Structure 1
Amino acid sequence: MTAIVQNVVTSGVFELDGGSWDVDNNVWLIGDDEEVLVIDAAHDAARIEDAIGERKVVAIVCTHAHNDHVNAAPELASRTGAPILLHPEDRVLWDLTHADRAPDGELADGQELTVAGTRLKVIHTPGHAPGAVCLYAADLGTVFTGDTLFNGGPGATGRSYSDYPTIRKSIQDKLFVLPEDTRVNTGHGGGTTIGDEKSGSAGWD
């Protein structure tokens, strides 16, 4: 069976630098009838577990460690026995939310994860957060961008540990080299394509 992509939207609060904002997060599940990989366990472990069902969870992958993307990860890991994977450069943000629970493994640029016979390549895309990553599934024609790239432009860079020139370079050098028809599945809101974002990028500055 070819891997399929499922989307679960969860709601909660994003907190950083003393501020808080109500947010809806996209949680992505990639897999088949037997196993699944979870991208960004946000807010509601029970709801995500319901979507998983009886399938084995091979990993809980964090695109970055802002609290709204990782706050349900330890509980989901406890419920499923799956390891939590995070790029080490985002440990500083992870510790703001989970100081007493470390991730189980590290993500690295160029690393490949496999679920249901489908490979996902880890692409380190700093800027929104120092350890931000995207996951590119060539066989599915899809890239999961977390908060690095949205429908309409780059993710926010106005808070601690973020940098606008860095996120622009990450998108230009790491994402815009992907096929233009690649579907972009984002951390919040609706999707887009690499081609659509490339064509609109001249107006970002």
Structure 2
Amino acid sequence: MLSLVVRSRMSAIIPNITKLTSRVTRILGCNPGPMTLQGTNTYLIGTGNRRILLDTGDAHIPQYINNLKAVLNKNKILLEHIIVTHWHHDHVGGVRDVIETVSPGCKVWKYKRSDVEEDQKQYNCVKLYELSDGQTFTIEGATLNVIHTPGHATDHVVLQLKEENAVFSGDCILGEGTAVFEDLYTYINSLKIIQSLQPSVIYPGHGPIITDPIEKITFYIQHRTQRENEIIKLLHISNESITSLDIVKSLYKNTPESLHQAAKYVVELHLKKLLKENRVIKEDNDKWKIFLKNNM
């Protein structure tokens, strides 16, 4: 699943290359689309002549590679490391292009997926070094702490830039709209981890930078909590077990029927979270009911 975004508005146009601070330069992946907004934000991090590249956009995007090379050549920069936030192709797809045309021999780092057995062929046979939770990367002008934040994907990580009290959020938090997730239970926990860091700014994987991080994270959590409360309320007042599609038809009355399957997927992610928390019971034939002590 890609970085599917529920758009709230279209933001100002993001330039292909933007020097955001003395130690952070954003290079747009030049891969716009309904799943990626204006494209994947990749970041060049550090102040010296050896820096870290975070994410690489999609494969076979010459415009992105040319823009990256232009920045590196103009500033006489070499890449020390490439770190990818997670396995989705709009973040890791361009790794081979960068290695082959920009920085041969650069180390590529990624957290290991827990949901499937990974194969180097998935990443065009580029050798990947395994990230670990809490790992630190130090280069001139930047100290980056790796934090495992599953939910959007099992291998998703964010990076904390200590010098700026900033977080590179990947697809966990986006610059506009809200992101999708594979597991709501772990995703909410990851949001709370980022919230506990109390960042001053967030550099997202898509969309503009976030200058009100705490407000944004609070909105993300409240948005999901509101839908969860609606599901719980509906299950409470139901006299019998109901299906996830029954829940969709009740809660998404103003949503076109053509979108009900997409809504059903989101509702089921909420139900799975509630199941993990022992707040609902799943029966046969995709039927659900509220968990009560007298159900035991």
After TM superposition, is the score higher than 0.5? yes
**Matching residue within 18, 31, 42 for 1:27:** 42
Q: Tell me: CA distance 1:129–1:198, structure 2 relative to 1, closer, same or farther (3 Å).
A: closer
The letter for the 1-side match of 2:213 is I
How is 1:43-192 mapped onto 2 (pairs within 5 angstroms)? 43=58, 44-53=64-73, 54-78=76-100, 79-80=102-103, 81-89=105-113, 92=116, 95=119, 98=122, 100-151=124-175, 155-157=179-181, 162-172=182-192, 174-179=193-198, 181-192=199-210
- Please give the alpha-carbon distance, in whole angstroms, between the structure 2 residues aligned to 1:27 and 1:21: 16
Letter in 1 for 2:223: G
Cα deviation code 1:49-90 (max 9, x no counterpart): 222223121111000110010111112122313111000127
- One-letter amino acid matched to 1:204: R
Q: Which residue of 2 aligns with 1:17?
A: none
* Structure with a larger share of its residues in strand: 1
What CA RMSD, in Å, does the superposition of the two structures yield over aligned residues? 2.7
Q: Is the partner of 2:151 in helix, strand or coil? A: coil
In structure 2, what residue type is equivalent to 1:66?
A: H
Q: Give the distance between the partners of 2:154 and 2:144, measured in 1 at CA.
A: 20
Structure 2 residue matching 1:65: 3-state secondary structure: coil
Please give the TM-score of this superposition, normalised by the length of structure 2: 0.58
Give the aligned residue type for 2:185: P
Secondary structure of 2:109's counterpart equals strand
Higher RCO structure (Cα 8 Å, ≥6 apart) = 1
Instruction: Give the ranges of 4+ consecutive aligned residues of structure 1 lying more than 6 Å apart after TM superposition.
Output: none
Specify whether residues 168 and 22 from structure 1 end up closer, same or farther in structure 2 by C-alpha distance, changes over 3 A only.
closer
Cα 1:154–1:121 change in 2 (3 A) is farther
- Structure 1 residue 46 displacement after superposition: 3.1
Q: Contact (CA 8 Å) 1:11, 1:25: kept in 2 or not?
A: yes
Moved more, 23-32 or 98-107: 98-107
CA distance in 1, matches of 2:98, 2:157: 20
Larger Rg computed on CA atoms: 2
Q: How many pairs are equivalent?
A: 193
Q: What do the CA deviations read for 1:96-142 (whole angstroms, capped 9, x no partner)?
A: 97354144311110000112142100000001110000000121121
- Aligned mates of 1:75, 1:202 — CA distance in 2: 40
1:12 maps to which residue? 31
TM-score normalized by the length of structure 1: 0.82
- Any gaps of 5 or more consecutive residues in structure 1? 15-19
CA distance in 2, matches of 1:55, 1:9: 18
1:3–1:118: 8 Å Cα contact kept in structure 2? no
CA distance in 2, matches of 1:156, 1:39: 21
Q: Which has the higher helix share?
A: 2
Structure 1 position 37 matched with structure 2 position 55: no
